[in-house]
Structures are given as C-alpha cells and as structure tokens.
Amino acid sequence: MIEVRHVSKVFTTMDIGTVTALAEVSLTINDNEFFTLLGPSGCGKTTLLRLIGGFETPSTGEIRIDGVDVAGLPPHKRRVNTVFQSYALFPHLTIAQNIAFGLEMLKWSKADIDVRVKEMLALVRLEGYGERNAAQLSGGQQQRVALARALAPRPSVLLLDEPLSALDLKLRKGMQVELKRLQRETGITFVLVTHDQEEALAMSDRIAVMSAGHVLQIGRPEDIYDDPNCCFVADFIGEANLIPGALLGRANVNIVTIRPERVTVGPGDAPAARIAGTVAEVTFIGPDTLYDIGLKDGTRMRARVRGDRGRFHAEEPVTVHWPDEAERELAS
C-alpha cells in the first residue's frame, strides 16, 4: 500500500524561479491495484511517480510504502521498480543480463537468477531473445524487456511512466491488454502514468485525475465517467456538454454536465423539453448520428443518437431531452 499525505513539490530553477509541480497531494494506492495517474502534460504526474520511486524528495508531506515512511530512503532501498519512458535498457548488456541486473544487485544465487530470467522472458513472450542486445529489438520488444527487468526482483510496486506513448496505435492496444495480464498474473501493484484518457479508462482499477499539480478526483473509471466532480474532469474524460445553469433556469447552479450519448433530440414542438435549439451540424458516423446544436445564448451542445438516420437537418429547430439521472450539477 502506498500512502501519499499532503505532498507538495516545489522546484527551484535558475531561469524561471520556482515551479510548484505538486500541491498538497494526498492519495492511497491499495495492494494489487492497477492505479492510474491521468492528466495533461505538465500536471505533475512524473514528479509524483519520481517521488514514490525515490528519485526526488518531497518539499513537504509524507509518503509511506507498506506502512513505512520512505523519507530519506534512496531508490535502491525501496521495493519499487520503474519502467522508464525511454526504457533505459543498458546498452552494454544483453537482454538476459539486463533482466538479471536487479537480481544480481539483490545478491540472488546464480542458479536462482538463471531460473528467474527464463521465467521473465517467458512471461513477456521473448523466449530465445536472451542473448541479443537491446539495439537489435523493436520498440515493442524493448518495452517488454523493460517490463521484465522491472518485474524480475518481485517489487511490491511497479511504476510505469507513459510506457506506451512511444509505440504506434496498434502495438499500443496490444500492450494495454498485455499490461493488464501481467498485473493480474504477478499480483503486483501497478502505478501507471498517462495523458491518454481512453488508456486510463480501459486499464485501471482506479484513476486519479490531475491538473496543474492538484489531484481533482479519484475513483473507479465508471464513477469518474458517470460522476465527474468538476468541469475539468468531465471535459478531460470522454466528451461532455457543459451548460450554464442559468440557461436551464437554475440560477443557483453553475454548470450542468451531460454526456452526448445520454442526450436525445426531438422535433421543435415536442413537449417537456429541457431546452430548445437549432441544429448547426449533422454528422453521420455509422451506428450513431452526431448533432451539434446551437442553444439560444450561443452555447453549443452535442448529442450522439443511436440508430438515428439523420432525422433532423441543419438549421432545423429542435428540442433537447435527457433523463434526470444523466445530468450532474457542478460547482466549478
């Protein structure tokens, strides 16, 4: 279990002064969990990961790993391993020697190391590649070696910093499945960093959505998707309509959010409508039709309607509908 308590990190640089990379971050990552730090570039994800790994020290706050305060513990004394974004495979060692490195440092016996290296090569499906050099492998293969090397010493936590961002789309989808499988089979806690919300939704047990050094929301993918607690989260995860409360006649509500697929479109004179508007654009995308609808104050709304073969046309007045349970009122 990793407990992050009120952790802040301020960098001081010569040219731009101080940068607050993390501000008062608190979160708990459970054993055996696939936990994801999700947020746009520069929001502090890598910094948080490096704090857990021991490569940076917090400016304030406390980090506990398995109940132990790790302040002052260097990386080599933490049962935490990292898959680096650049992989950082040692170019002077073979694949097998790369995987064995951590085990040698932990003073495993030669026989145990040999067995474990074989096991890890099989786990990442690279049997027979042990004697090659990293430069002879493709990006996807190097990625798997980096995983095998980090998993070999049986860490209690594996940290992954945007591990899939260097791979092309097809390989990335395959590796997502692979990573899930590895996490299930090893039972090790995975902490993944990504800026790709689809990746986060597809892989995680829980997600922490971050922005500008703050953790905005923590929860299961479904909960974060269905129940965002602020505009940033609603907008960053999937697509969201953000409608000023005043437009719906709710003066004391700041913003109402609804997912486009929960919205239905009716003819302009339909009764019991939430709000009226004019179709601005119709896009047919196969199973669904996308409607861009202009509301009276110029706000745009998007509806994604299943099986609707373009019932309405551009410029047509329409009404917009959604069930009560599909909307959330947001304060910010």
Ligand X SMILES: Nc1ncnc2c1ncn2[C@@H]1O[C@H](COP(=O)(O)OP(=O)(O)O)[C@@H](O)[C@H]1O
For the beta sheet containing 264-267, the strands, ordered from the edge strand earlier in sequence to the opposite edge, are: 264-267, 317-321, 275-284, 288-295, 300-306
Q: Which phi and psi angles does 44 have, rounded to 5°?
A: 110, 10
Looking at the Cβ atoms of 194 and 217, the one nearer to Mg ion is: 194
DSSP state of 261: G
By CB under 6 A, the count of residues binding ligand X is: 12
* Residues touching other proteins, count (CB under 8 A): 24
Residue ranges binding Mg ion (CB under 5 A): 46
Q: Examine residue 4 and tell whether it contacts ligand X (CB under 6 A).
A: no
Phi, psi for 320 (deg, rounded to 5):
-120, 140
Residue 108 contact among ligand X, other proteins, Mg ion, none, beta carbon within 5 to 8 Å by kind: none
When the beta carbons of 89 and 208 are compared against other proteins, the nearer one is 89
Beta-carbon contacts of 179 under 8 Å, excluding residues fewer than 6 positions away, are: 147, 160, 163, 164, 190, 192, 203
**Strand, coil or helix: 75:** helix
- We find the least distance from the C-beta atom of residue 24 to ligand X, in angstroms, to be 15
Question: Minimum Å distance from CB 50 to Mg ion?
Answer: 9
Contact present, 123 and 151 (Cβ < 8 Å): yes
| CA within 13 Å, CB half, 98 | 29
| Partner from ligand X, other proteins, Mg ion, none contacting 86, C-beta within 5 to 8 A by type | other proteins
Q: Which is nearer to other proteins, 150 or 234 (CB)?
A: 150
Q: Is 36 in the site for ligand X (CB under 6 A)?
A: no
Residue 287 CB partners (closer than 8 Å, separation 6+): 306, 307
Is 19 an interacting residue with respect to ligand X (CB under 6 A)? yes
Residue 163 touching other proteins (CB under 8 A): no
- Which tokens hold the place of 87? 């992989």
The β-bridge partners of 210 are 215
| Contacted entry of other proteins, Mg ion, ligand X, none for residue 19, CB cut-off 5 to 8 Å set by kind | ligand X
Q: Which of 11, 84, 101, 129 binds ligand X (CB under 6 A)?
A: 11
Chain centroid offset of residue 250 CA:
34
Stretch that binds other proteins, among 39-47, 85-93, 226-234, 263-271 (CB under 8 A): 85-93
277/327 Cα distance (integer angstroms): 18
Tell me if residue 89 falls in helix, strand or coil: coil
Closer to ligand X by CB, 30 or 57: give it: 57
Are the CB atoms for 233 and 328 separated by under 8 Å? no
Contact (CB, 8 A) for 25 and 4: yes
Q: Which of 31, 40, 57, 106 binds other proteins (CB under 8 A)?
A: 106
For ligand X, give the closer residue by CB, 46 or 241: 46
Contacting residues toward other proteins, per CB under 8 A: 53-55, 74-76, 80-82, 84, 86, 88-92, 101-102, 105-106, 135, 149-150, 153
Contacting residues toward ligand X, per CB under 6 A: 11, 13, 19, 21, 39, 41-47
